[in-house]
Structure 1
Amino acid sequence: MTQTIAPRVRTLVLLLLAATGLLLAGAGPVSAHAALTGSDPRQGVVVDKAPAQVSLTFSEKVALSDDSLRVLDPKGKRVDRGDPANVSGTTYAVKLHSGLPDGTYTVTYQVVSEDSHPVAGAYTFSIGAPSQTTVSVSGQTAGGGIVGTLYGIGRYVSYAGFILLVGGAAFVLACWQRGAGVRAVQRFVVSGWLALTAATLTLLLMRGSYTSTGKVGDIFDLDLLGQVLQTKTGAALVSRLLLLAAAALFIAVLFGAYDKREDDEKRDLTFGLAIGGTVVAAGLAASWAMSEHASTGLQAGIAMPVDVVHLMAVAGWLGGLAALLVALFRAPADTPVEASAVRRFSRVAFGSVLALVATGIYQSWRQLGSWSAFTGTRYGQLLLVKIGLVVLLVGIAWVSRRWTARLVDTAVVKKADAADEGETEAGDGEKEHAAARTGTSASGEKAASTPVSGKKGGDSERAAQLARQQAAIDTARRKQQRDADPNRFGLRRSVLAEAGVAVVLLAVTTMLTSTEPGRTEEQARAASSASADASAAGALTLDMSFDTGGEDGKGVVRLDLDPARVGGNEMHVYVQRPNGRAFDIPEVKIAFTLESQDIGPLPVVPDHIATGHWSASGVQIPMAGEWKIAVTVRTSDIDQTTVSKNAQIG
């Protein structure tokens, strides 16, 4: 029967690796967790004169570097000056050089969201009139390329290492203390520590390139590394490395002094290791909670400890499951996994599942915010997949629990049979002992004479060799009997299936941590939609020619209304000569009339801002409809005229 296990194991492992690879390959670049919700100047707008600065507004706070915001002229030359700065809330700006010529300008940004993920993008605006530009705004991605792929693999390995390390150690201490002396279990836990340590070092080195240039050559840039160490994510990675040093000491005690103690002496040391191990494990989990999703957004003070509990529950369940799988397949025949150990792990896994359900419900509410986000956002869709995998895993675990119960029952029966056989063997032993005293065999035959002294050395070596062969035969027989046990074989298969689903579950969970939460995505979508609606409505620009009849009485008046909707609006009025040059006149007045509803005229007197430029803020439009906009222009004490146009507002 053992011969049929290996092909099945290989097939299942290959299928799991393929499924995991598809999941990770489909992940793509990290989704932005901070979205651009507004800008000044806006995307695609044409302004009359060069702005003094460019400002961007995001859905959450972001981290800036010296080159986070750049403005390029039509030839690709930078026209921004100074470092970008946070002007208010989630709005960031960079100043521009004065006297910029007309043309199309490109704004590029590369920032890091508050939950540690890079965000990049670009857009254009024009001064005076659009023009040709040599700058391409396509392909502006963050966290992509080779560095992004390697960083994503590093994140997956770090989570896997944490689960193996914490879950394996917890399995030994809480369920199978004899496993501390099993070489396969020792290698399993140490492998988790090595994987987490190597992945953390790799992530720390790649972090600078990952959030900025995306170049492989910049991975070992010490300047970028210095910048990373000053960020929240850099501090979390360094803290994780320090905690891993403490974890190394824990492993040394667990598989060293602890394994050599007698069972009675292990009690106090078990308690000490459990307390110390829990503190180290919680600290490692906190290195994620304090730098990623849980550290930002709604109820961060509650979300971070909840996230720590969630991660430790995942490690206790999935890591313990993997350790149990190793013990079932790789433990030596003279140190088999007892049914009691499997039963204890079953209770630990049940408690972990309860913790996962409680913390998962809270996290889902916090990250989604609405039922529609389950199907309307990528985060919600991945969460549905994760929930399905957890349900499947619990179902397989229930099957494993049934096999465990059968294994316990079988063990009780075998103990009773062994007791009966022991009594029979004891009787036979007394007969053999009596025969030895009389020099006869148990069957009454005379024993062979004692060999001469010259042959004693050879006979003792031969006896030792035969004893070793007999021990090997006994070990092989016990292993064969153990593997032939249908209950143990069934438990192996169910635990192997659990571990397989757990591998895919870990891949989906890693993707979740690098995907924009549904609540944030919906808020950003709503803000972008409102901004787009405002931009579409704010395109209201009216040009009206006038002639007051007096000297210098001809010109053009331009009225801009932003965002041209019901409620408050920003209004700008520009007066130009026929040749396009701005000039001042004594007075400009505007009136709004909605003739279909007998509303108005509503007068507005703008304030003089600069040569040929007037503005008014808070211009109230009470109702949507086709409004008549009348502009009265006075060019002298006696020369004035009124021109008007109709426009749809709201």
Structure 2
Amino acid sequence: MTMQPRRRVRRLSGLAAALVLAAGIVALTGSPAAAHANLVGTSPSNGTELDGPPDEVRLRFSERVTVAPDGVSIRDSAGAVVDTGPAAVAPEDPSAVVLPVPPDLPDGSYVVSFRLVSADSHPVAGAIVFGVGVPAGSLDNVDTDPEDPAVAAVFAASRWTSYAGLALLAGVLGMLVLCWPGGWANRRARRVVVVGWVTSLAGAVALLLLQGPYSAGRSLAEVADPTLLSATLDTDYGRYVVARMILVAVAALLVVGWRAPWSRLRTAGAVLVAVGLPVTWMGTGHANASDNPLDRVADVVHLIAMSTWFGGLAMLAICLLPRSVSLPREEVTGAVRRFSLLATGAVVTLVVTGTYVAWRRIGTLEALLGTDYGRLLAFKLAAMGVLLWLGSMSRSVVQRRYAAAADPVPELADGTRSSRSKRREARAATEQERSARAQLRGSVRLEVGTAIAVLAVASVLVATPPGVVVTAAETLAATAGPVLEQVSLDPEEDPTAGVQVLVDPAWVGENRVVVEVVRSAELAGGTSSGLPNAPNPTASPATQISEFVAVPWDVPEVRASFVLPGSDLGQLPVELTRTAPGVYEASDAQLPVAGDWRLELAVRTSEVDSHTVQVAVPVS
């Protein structure tokens, strides 16, 4: 190797080392895993002052969730836990959680703390506050995310370990089946598989045991708590990790029977593990939160391509290319050339599936630049760009040097060669292969170092909310909330009469509807005229109706129904109950889908007079 290539290798080595260092900093200093399901609405609303205790507390999120052990609780102003029934996911809406509230809840300020688990296995933590008969208190001194930093750090390390185990076990087995069948008899190859097996098993066991404390906000001391473990096993996450452990057990049979003569069965087992292990990651990450089957397929294929490429690189660096390895030239050449073709296919697959996954999880250019997930993805793409460049260098070496090394030695015109000529040409071929191996060894080592950096960033990405989730949650949070409107019953004949309508929280599922028929204070001896004043925008949704400057009008009857224009749902009647003069309420009006709904009201003001009004109700 000349001085110029050596200087190039040193420069590339520095670049790879910088990438590994940067990725390590990202992995170690990255923020704790944030919730991938975001709170988009509550009932009662945060900060509400209620006249009496609510029947339930309902929390609605941007994706489906499960309830962690003791995941939702109510505390009074003294910090004492209120005795309630268990929280549960709403049967009609897997993205909502309902906590029953005792009917004899005394007046006071209460904090609802929650820590749930989103569909992609990450915790959702927070708190809201409401008051009964008194103003709601403050959340300033409430710890809304009681997470143990030690659990988060060990959990992140376990994710990286599991990724490494996936490459060293599934990827190496794929390399043995497709590129290097002779490796089954190689001691170094067996050691690599054993390391991959131990790493995969340790990572799977750690992830299974840590998920309970991680989700419930507990400490490392509770890692073996049977209640937490049982809750984990009852989720998609737990079931997929158990399936991973079963496949790792199958791989143990391959290790034990490494030299067994049943090669076909061994090959079938290796293929099962190489393809099955990436499938088990489908239920423990972002793909599990998607209802699109193509997202899951793309995620699995992406992992298969990644493990195949990275595992093959590990085999080249450890078993085929080191100076201390004395393998037949033909065996090394054949394995290297076959892996070069396999790696090319893996790279193409990674680019295609990675582009699709990035598009699905980023959504917009603003999310790429304005979210943590987008910035981490940009860093990963930069590292992948370096890795692809290094891979192209390795492929160039294989095409130029190993193709020549594999060419047969030409014979003389009469079909014979002298012994001296044979020896000279054999020495030249051996030296050529040795030189090609040395050059390839340098580029492969750089690829391995960069691959470690990519895996480190990937382990952080899987714990970061996708950009599309963040922007969608922000949109939902901006549009979600109670609808409070006032309309005139008859603006031409009687502009002093109207209705005030509250739909809270105006979301899919159960809603509270309050209709109050009012007349201006002038008719009751006041000085104002026209419809009541607009509501106070700073008032809580549950008390805004009472803040209108108006008096109730005790009409004989009010009927209501919801209509979604352009749909086939028809009219959805609302069962209103008269709760006070002129006030009609329904606490369980169901809205099945989001959209621009319309509340149609029929108000009968006398035996012969009736008015029909409509109120727009956007539902998120």
TM-score by length of 2: 0.73
Distance 1:312 1:131, change over 3 A: closer
Name which of 13, 28, 39 aligns with 2:42: 39
Q: Deviations over 1:118-152 (max 9, x none)?
A: 1111121223333667993235155x511111111
Alignment correspondent of 2:454: 505
Confirm whether residue 50 of structure 1 aligns to residue 42 of structure 2: no
Distance 1:134 1:12 in 2: 47
Letter in structure 2 aligned against 1:614: V
Distance 1:39 1:544, change over 3 A: farther
How far the C-alpha of 1:99 sits from its partner, in A, is: 3.7
Confirm whether residue 292 of structure 1 aligns to residue 307 of structure 2: no
Distance 1:535 1:515, change over 3 A: farther
Confirm whether residue 107 of structure 1 aligns to residue 112 of structure 2: yes
How far the C-alpha of 1:351 sits from its partner, in A, is: 0.9
How far the C-alpha of 1:84 sits from its partner, in A, is: 1.2
Letter in structure 1 aligned against 2:393: V
Alignment correspondent of 1:391: 385
Letter in structure 2 aligned against 1:198: A
Alignment correspondent of 1:20: 23
- Conserved? CA contact 1:558–1:574, under 8 Å: no
Letter in structure 1 aligned against 2:55: A
Confirm whether residue 145 of structure 1 aligns to residue 149 of structure 2: yes
- Conserved? CA contact 1:310–1:360, under 8 Å: yes
Name which of 280, 284, 308 aligns with 1:316: 308
Distance 1:10 1:364, change over 3 A: closer
Q: Deviations over 1:513-555 (max 9, x none)?
A: 222222222211101112379699999x9999889579xxxxx
Name which of 195, 200, 209 aligns with 1:191: 195
Alignment correspondent of 2:569: none
Distance 1:37 1:560, change over 3 A: farther
- Conserved? CA contact 1:66–1:84, under 8 Å: no
Name which of 72, 77, 90 aligns with 1:74: 77
Name which of 337, 349, 353 aligns with 1:355: 349
Distance 1:371 1:362 in 2: 15
How far the C-alpha of 1:174 sits from its partner, in A, is: 2.0
How far the C-alpha of 1:589 sits from its partner, in A, is: 12
Name which of 172, 177, 181 aligns with 2:181: 177
Distance 1:198 1:287, change over 3 A: same
Residue 491 of structure 1 aligns to a residue whose secondary structure is helix
Q: Percent identity?
A: 31
Distance 1:330 1:183 in 2: 16
Confirm whether residue 525 of structure 1 aligns to residue 474 of structure 2: yes
Name which of 59, 62, 73 aligns with 2:65: 62
Distance 1:249 1:12 in 2: 40
Distance 1:211 1:482 in 2: 58
| Bigger Cα Rg | 1
Confirm whether residue 234 of structure 1 aligns to residue 183 of structure 2: no
- Conserved? CA contact 1:229–1:235, under 8 Å: yes
Q: Deviations over 1:428-479 (max 9, x none)?
A: xxxxxxxxxxxxxxxxxxxxxxxxxxxxxxxxxxxxxxxxxxxxxxxxxx9x
Letter in structure 2 aligned against 1:168: V
Give structure 2 stretches of 5+ with no counterpart: 487-501, 505-515, 559-574, 590-604, 606-617
Task: Please list, as runs of the form range in 1=range in 2, the aligned pairs for 1:440-459 lying within 5 A after superposition.
Answer: none
Confirm whether residue 119 of structure 1 aligns to residue 137 of structure 2: no
Name which of 376, 391, 394 aligns with 1:382: 376
- Conserved? CA contact 1:562–1:571, under 8 Å: no
Alignment correspondent of 1:93: 98
Q: Deviations over 1:606-650 (max 9, x none)?
A: 9773356724799xxxxxxxxxxxxxx9xxxxxxxxxxxxxxxx9
Q: Deviations over 1:572-620 (max 9, x none)?
A: 75599xxxxxx99856999xxxxxxxxxxxxxxx9773356724799xx
Name which of 277, 282, 285 aligns with 2:275: 282
TM-score by length of 1: 0.70
Letter in structure 2 aligned against 1:392: V
Alignment correspondent of 2:420: 424
Residue 204 of structure 1 aligns to a residue whose secondary structure is helix
- Conserved? CA contact 2:113–2:144, under 8 Å: no
Letter in structure 1 aligned against 2:397: W
Distance 2:411 2:149 in 1: 65
- Conserved? CA contact 1:62–1:113, under 8 Å: yes
- Conserved? CA contact 2:397–2:436, under 8 Å: yes
Letter in structure 1 aligned against 2:34: S
- Conserved? CA contact 1:573–1:615, under 8 Å: no
- Conserved? CA contact 1:572–1:616, under 8 Å: no
Distance 1:307 1:548, change over 3 A: closer
How far the C-alpha of 1:111 sits from its partner, in A, is: 0.6
Q: Deviations over 1:162-203 (max 9, x none)?
A: 111122222233222333333322211211111000111111
Q: Deviations over 1:179-234 (max 9, x none)?
A: 33333222112111110001111111222111113211110112222222222211
Letter in structure 2 aligned against 1:610: T
- Conserved? CA contact 2:115–2:124, under 8 Å: yes
- Conserved? CA contact 2:212–2:232, under 8 Å: yes
- Conserved? CA contact 1:561–1:570, under 8 Å: no
Distance 1:17 1:421, change over 3 A: farther
Alignment correspondent of 2:217: 213
Give structure 1 stretches of 5+ with no counterpart: 259-267, 428-477, 551-556, 577-582, 591-605, 619-632, 634-649
Distance 2:417 2:11 in 1: 37
Q: Deviations over 1:327-369 (max 9, x none)?
A: 2126523556623321111100011112222222332233233
- Conserved? CA contact 1:243–1:284, under 8 Å: yes
Distance 1:73 1:403, change over 3 A: same
How far the C-alpha of 1:153 sits from its partner, in A, is: 0.8
Letter in structure 1 aligned against 2:385: V
Letter in structure 2 aligned against 1:116: S
Distance 1:278 1:387, change over 3 A: same
How far the C-alpha of 1:383 sits from its partner, in A, is: 2.4
Higher RCO structure (Cα 8 Å, ≥6 apart): 2
Distance 1:13 1:289 in 2: 30
How far the C-alpha of 1:81 sits from its partner, in A, is: 1.1
How far the C-alpha of 1:379 sits from its partner, in A, is: 2.3
- Conserved? CA contact 1:50–1:100, under 8 Å: yes
- Conserved? CA contact 1:71–1:79, under 8 Å: yes
Distance 1:561 1:99, change over 3 A: farther
Residue 290 of structure 1 aligns to a residue whose secondary structure is helix
Q: Which moved more, 1:411-420 or 1:380-389?
A: 411-420
Alignment correspondent of 1:553: none
RMSD between superposed Cα atoms in Å: 4.5
Letter in structure 2 aligned against 1:407: R
Number of paired residues?
Answer: 525
Distance 1:559 1:54 in 2: 31
Q: Which moved more, 1:228-237 or 1:83-92?
A: 83-92
Confirm whether residue 346 of structure 1 aligns to residue 349 of structure 2: no
Distance 1:561 1:43 in 2: 18
